[in-house]
Amino acid sequence: MMLDELMTTARETLTVTRVYGEPFEQGGVTVVPAATVSGGGGGGGGQDADGPEGQGGGFGLGIKPAGMYVIADGHVRWHPALDVNRLIASVTAVALAGILARIRLEKLRTSRSR
C-alpha cells in the first residue's frame, strides 16, 4: 500500500461515526451511544543509492465506550460508561499506597521506640 493510499484509509477510518453510534429509539426514549476514539500513525519513504525507492507506514486506532446520551421528554442526559478495568486499577493503587504507608509508619514507630 502506498503512503497516499494509507493516509486516505486513515482519514476515512477516523470519522464522527466512530465517536457517535447510530441513535436508536425504544419506548419514546432515544439513545445515542458515544465512544472515545484515539489514533496515530506515521510513514515515510526513501531511496537507495542504486535507485530503488520504497515507502511504508502504518496507523493504529483505539476505541473505548464513553457513555450515552439519553433523550427523553425533551431533556438530554449524559450517562457515562463504567470502565471496570480503570476502577479496579484505581482501587488497587490506593490500597497498595495505604499498605506501603502503613509499613513505613510502623518502621518509623519501631525505630523511635529504640
Domain segments of the chain as ranges: 3-81, 82-114
Secondary structure in 3-state letters for 28-88 = CEEEEEEEEEEEEEEEEEEECCCCCEEEEEEEEEEEEEEEEEEEECCEEEEEECCCHHHHH
Tens digit of each residue's pLDDT (9 = 90 or more) over 39-69? 777 777 788 777 778 777 777 878 888 899 9
Bridge partners of 63, per DSSP, are: 37
Mean pLDDT, all residues of the chain: 85
Q: State the pLDDT at residue 62.
A: 83
Instruction: Read off the pTM.
Output: 0.54
Please give the backbone phi and psi of residue 2, each rounded to the nearest 5 degrees, phi first.
-75, 160
Bridge partners of 69, per DSSP, are: 32, 78
Residue 46 is which amino acid?
Answer: G
Map residue 6 onto helix, strand or coil: helix
Bridge partners of 46, per DSSP, are: 54
